[in-house]
């Protein structure tokens, strides 16, 4: 027995040594592979590995994509880091798989050991989607309205699995910008919330959902795009916030997602003069502009990499966007971005057609020269390529492309992408997001018998969404006897025409589609005001269905009921006609209509943003009309004019990022929106990623119990058991 115990101890020690050294050996092996690849690369190969390009769309005339000869030659000659796809490249599932296969195969033919391309796309969900047949999901602000944060994980896993089935490896998502400025023209419903904790919680979950499918998530737009008044696609935004202020709000979701294992971050083309005051003479205006975040060493190297500890891949937003293209020389942007610490340059030139390929070749040649003569730091280039190689190595992309089993991959994609099962999950998410914030005199649900309801949509593309919901209601037995529902679009219709249509209706539902603050003051808003008055003059009920930004709830307070959907995307075809293979469609509008009529489907969503009071000329004021987290339900009786629910203690908000000393600090204090009746942000328990969620993070592989700990515990239990048995035997 003593010999047995000695042998058990020896085995245990051997296991400890074996498993104790293996993780380090594996890590060392991965580093050795990347170092070996890097050492064998030319300067041109390194520069090309830092480029993510787009080749546009070419067709063979029958609707299938092909690679033009110039594109084939470019893929053979240069080892690009990746490509980005757009809606025209991903319209049909089978065609998308074939196209990606052709691109990867052509790239591989450039050399036996040629590593694979990162295949990238913007598939955020909601309003920003590219897959022609993909499951759209309700979008970020809708997910922010769902109380269960795991809804964001579900949405991320649906999107991640569909991208993986098509051969797409990188999703430029989630958008973790805080919609702190309700007037910002570019983020809006792409943001989860105007709360740092809401955005953080759901950003982590969404990212984890993508990673669970093997898809690389790219947080955007660092260091935050939610407080801008300019769209960086059309201009160069400026945010006059200090570093201290960013740490109190915008940087919180990025830091929490980085801590949870983010592998990629996308930069924003935004000026932050209190942080980066280096200027550049605009090539179009001749005026001085500040270096935007994308080109700033202070923001990329000092803050993101230094203070926040991010050692993953940094990719720029599109380099041809007007924020850069109008003001900066293309070679200066490359030099500044790389020297700032950026790893991947996204669409640095318009590489479409034969002329575009020539432009790309000249660009590569020039950057190689700049690197070799020291204008671009070779140390920065090597560091960037090393990070890219690590990312690719973790995802199996340093291995040569295996193009086998193409037909089976096509079949898998067609069965999974936009599947009935995914749409069923999407439908439940969309219903859970629907938010009721006004319901005077029990206007909703519309469950009264023998009533006529008119639905007025903002565009013909929404009519099918409404009919889809009405048919579902009837099929599910949700509409009372004698209910009549008619659907019309108010686009390009006169007020007299619309008044004629709603005459005699007991209920009128109008879809309001507000995409910017200026729409609150437009002709459509005035038309809706007139319709509300007409309905009330006839003694009938008016329901406002807010289909995009929820701030229109403040504009139309005369409505009897206000319900929020957070996305206005319609349908191109009825999904029941070709179930599982229909074009992508927006679930939010039909889900809201379903809830409007169904007694059993009371809205469950909670406001993810604060809604300010509007001034007499319909501009935002400092007062808050509806607090964040406010909601109503059909079970709340008697019906009443809502007053905000108590908001949880502000102390439950995640701690701001720790103040660093790298930059001069400001003592200025900032709030999410300048308000009079301040509502603290909602309470959230600090989120700790589960072992499953952490497993996708190669940079932070410390989740759960390590094999070493498990072996030690098991060994100790074995020894205790054996010793106990020996002692018992001796006593006997």
Is 221 catalytic? The answer is: no
**pLDDT per position as a tens digit, 684-699:** 333 333 333 333 333 3
Q: What mean pLDDT is predicted for residues 694-715?
A: 43
Of the candidates 64, 66, 45, which has an alpha carbon nearest to the alpha carbon of residue 55? 66
Of 317, 552, 560, 601, the catalytic one is 317
Of the candidates 538, 545, 569, which has an alpha carbon nearest to the alpha carbon of residue 444? 545
**pLDDT per position as a tens digit, 537-582:** 999 999 999 999 999 999 999 999 999 999 999 887 777 766 555 6
Please enumerate in sequence order all residues whose Cβ is within 8 A of that of 26, keeping only pairs 6 or more positions apart, or say none.
none
**pLDDT per position as a tens digit, 301-329:** 999 999 999 999 999 999 999 999 999 99
The per-residue pLDDT for 231 is 62
Of 95, 101, 233, 652, the catalytic one is 233
**pLDDT per position as a tens digit, 479-522:** 988 999 999 999 999 999 999 999 999 999 999 998 888 889 99
Residue 273 CA to residue 417 CA, distance in Å, equals 44
pTM comes to 0.84
Note the Cα 62 to chain centre separation in Å.
34
Is 133 catalytic? The answer is: no
Write down the residue that tokens 């007299």 correspond to: 496
Q: What mean pLDDT is predicted for residues 585-605?
A: 96
Alpha helices in 326-419 (DSSP H): 330-340, 353-372, 378-394, 406-416
> DSSP secondary structure string, 26-79?
HHHHHHHHHHHHHHT--HHHHHHHTEEE-----B-SSS-B---HHHHHHHHH--
The per-residue pLDDT for 264 is 98
Q: What mean pLDDT is predicted for residues 103-126?
A: 92
Q: What 8-state DSSP symbol labels residue 112?
A: T
Q: Which residue segments constitute the domains of the chain, with CATH numbers given? A: 1-40+702-732 (no CATH), 41-416 (3.20.20.300), 435-602 (3.40.50.1700)
Task: Give Rg (Cα) of the chain.
Answer: 28
Q: Read off the pLDDT band of 583 (50, 70, 90).
A: confident
Does residue 99 contact residue 65 with C-beta atoms inside 8 Å? yes
Mean residue pLDDT across the chain: 85
Exposure letters 395-433 (e unless 16+ CB within 10 A, then b): bebbeebeeeeeeebbebbbebbbbeebbebbbbbbbbb
């Amino acid at each position: 027995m003593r010999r047995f115990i000695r042998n058990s101890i020896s085995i245990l020690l051997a296991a400890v040594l074996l498993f104790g050294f293996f993780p380090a050996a594996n890590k060392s092996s991965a580093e050795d592979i990347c170092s070996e690849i890097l050492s064998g690369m030319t300067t041109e190969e390194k520069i090309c590995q830092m480029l993510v390009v787009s080749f546009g769309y070419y067709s063979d005339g029958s609707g299938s994509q092909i690679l033009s000869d110039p594109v084939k030659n470019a893929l053979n000659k240069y080892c690009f880091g990746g490509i980005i796809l757009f809606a025209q490249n991903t319209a049909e599932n089978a065609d998308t798989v074939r196209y990606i296969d052709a691109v990867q195969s052509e790239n591989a033919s450039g050399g036996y050991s040629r590593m694979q391309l990162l295949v990238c796309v913007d598939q955020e969900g909601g309003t920003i989607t590219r897959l022609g047949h993909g499951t759209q999901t309700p979008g970020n602000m809708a997910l922010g309205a769902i109380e269960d944060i795991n809804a964001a994980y579900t949405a991320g896993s649906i999107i991640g699995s569909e991208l993986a089935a098509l051969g797409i490896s990188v999703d430029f998502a989630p958008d973790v910008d805080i919609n702190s400025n309700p007037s910002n023209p570019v983020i809006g419903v792409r943001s989860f919330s105007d709360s740092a904790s809401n955005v953080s919680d759901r950003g982590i979950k969404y990212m984890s959902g993508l990673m669970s499918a093997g898809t690389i998530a790219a947080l955007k737009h660092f260091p935050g795009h939610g407080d801008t008044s300019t769209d960086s696609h059309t201009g160069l935004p400026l945010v006059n916030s200090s570093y201290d202020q960013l740490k109190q709000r915008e940087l919180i979701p990025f830091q929490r997602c980085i801590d949870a294992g983010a592998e990629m971050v996308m930069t924003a083309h935004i000026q932050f003069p209190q942080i980066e005051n280096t200027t550049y003479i605009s090539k179009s205006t001749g005026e001085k502009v500040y270096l935007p975040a994308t080109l700033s060493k202070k923001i990329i190297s000092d803050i993101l990499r230094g203070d926040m500890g991010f050692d993953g891949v940094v990719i720029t937003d599109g380099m041809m966007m007007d924020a850069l293209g109008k003001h900066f020389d293309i070679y200066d942007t490359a030099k500044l971005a790389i020297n700032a610490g950026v790893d991947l340059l996204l669409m640095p030139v318009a590489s479409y057609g034969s002329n575009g390929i020539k432009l790309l070749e000249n660009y590569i040649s020039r950057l190689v020269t700049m690197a070799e003569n020291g204008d671009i730091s070779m140390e920065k280039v090597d560091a960037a390529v090393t990070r890219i190689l690590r990312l690719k190595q973790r995802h199996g992309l340093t291995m040569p492309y295996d193009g086998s089993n193409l037909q089976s991959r096509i079949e898998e994609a067609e069965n999974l992408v936009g599947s009935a099962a995914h749409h069923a999950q999407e439908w439940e998410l969309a219903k859970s997001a629907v938010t009721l914030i006004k319901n005077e005199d029990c206007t909703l649900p519309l469950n009264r018998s023998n009533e006529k309801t008119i639905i007025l949509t903002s565009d013909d593309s929404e009519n099918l969404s409404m009919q889809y919901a009405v048919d579902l209601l009837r099929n599910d037995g949700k509409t009372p006897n004698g209910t009549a529902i008619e659907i019309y679009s108010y686009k390009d219709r006169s007020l007299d025409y619309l008044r004629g249509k709603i005459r005699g209706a007991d209920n009128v539902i109008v879809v309001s589609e507000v995409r910017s603050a200026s729409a609150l003051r437009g002709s459509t808003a005035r038309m809706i005001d007139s319709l509300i008055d007409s309905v009330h003059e006839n003694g009938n009920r008016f329901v406002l269905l807010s289909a995009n930004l929820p701030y229109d709830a403040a504009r139309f307070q005369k409505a009897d009921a206000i319900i929020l959907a957070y996305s206005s995307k319609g349908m191109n075809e009825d999904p029941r006609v070709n179930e599982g293979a229909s074009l992508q469609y927006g679930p939010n509008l039909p889900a809201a209509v379903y809830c409007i009529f169904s007694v059993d489907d009371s809205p469950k969503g909670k406001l993810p943003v604060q809604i300010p009071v509007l001034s007499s000329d319909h501009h935002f004021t400092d007062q808050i009309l509806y607090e964040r987290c406010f909601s109503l339900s059909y079970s709340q009786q008697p019906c009443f004019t809502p007053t905000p629910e108590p908001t949880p203690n502000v102390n439950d908000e995640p701690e701001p990022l720790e103040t660093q000393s790298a930059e001069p600090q400001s003592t200025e204090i900032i709030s999410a929106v300048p308000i009079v009746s301040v509502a603290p942000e909602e309470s959230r328990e600090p989120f700790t990623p589960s072992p499953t969620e952490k497993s996708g993070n190669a940079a932070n592989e410390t989740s759960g119990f390590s094999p070493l700990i498990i072996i030690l515990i098991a060994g100790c239990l074995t020894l205790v058991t054996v010793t106990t048995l020996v002692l018992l035997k001796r006593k006997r």
